[in-house]
Amino acid sequence: MRSPGRPEPSRAVQRDFWRRIASGVTTVEAAEAVGVSWPVGSRWFRHAGGMPPISLDEPTGRYLSFAEREEIALLRAQGVGVREIARRIGRDPGTISRELRRNAATRGGKQVYRALVAQWKAQQAAKRPKTAKLVSDGRLRE
């Protein structure tokens, strides 16, 4: 179990780790190459039953990227409206409106949008609490 307060490595780091595993390197080598400790890499491998728990494909653009969230936060702080933000980053106004509504934190009685918090919330929501088949099925693992 992770210790509280320690951030989860990004999905990009995890994808890079699993791509290296697929190329044939050891968990220790893959972990060191992506900048996580070898016990973390070994735990990822063990908990996932040796199979990547996430897609190794890069995000398709369906979801907002961290860069887009940073742009939304900057424009919002400048007082730019939802439709103008949408036009500038090439997204639907409804997408921007939902993003601001779902991920704005209340500070001092007013809504404040923070890109880092929004990205963390999106990553938490994207996680699947599903156990890998190789972990739960001994016969399949054999």
pLDDT in tens, 15-63: 899 999 999 999 999 999 999 999 999 999 998 898 887 777 766 678 8
Q: Which pLDDT value is given to residue 27? A: 94
| Count of the separate structural domains present in the chain | 2
72 in the same domain as 36:
no
Q: Band of the pLDDT at 110, cuts 50, 70, 90? A: confident
Are 29 and 42 a contacting pair, CB within 8 Å? no
Tell whether 85 and 115 lie within a shared domain: yes
Structure pTM? 0.52
Instruction: Quote the mean pLDDT of the chain.
Output: 84
Per-residue pLDDT at 1 exceeds 50: no
pLDDT > 60? residue 71 = yes
Q: Is 18 inside any structural domain?
A: yes
* Domain span holding position 106: 66-125
> 71 with 117, same domain?
yes
120 belongs to a structural domain: yes
DSSP string, 50-77: TS-SS--SPP-SSS--HHHHHHHHHHHH
Q: What is the pLDDT of residue 123?
A: 82
Q: Is residue 103 part of a domain?
A: yes
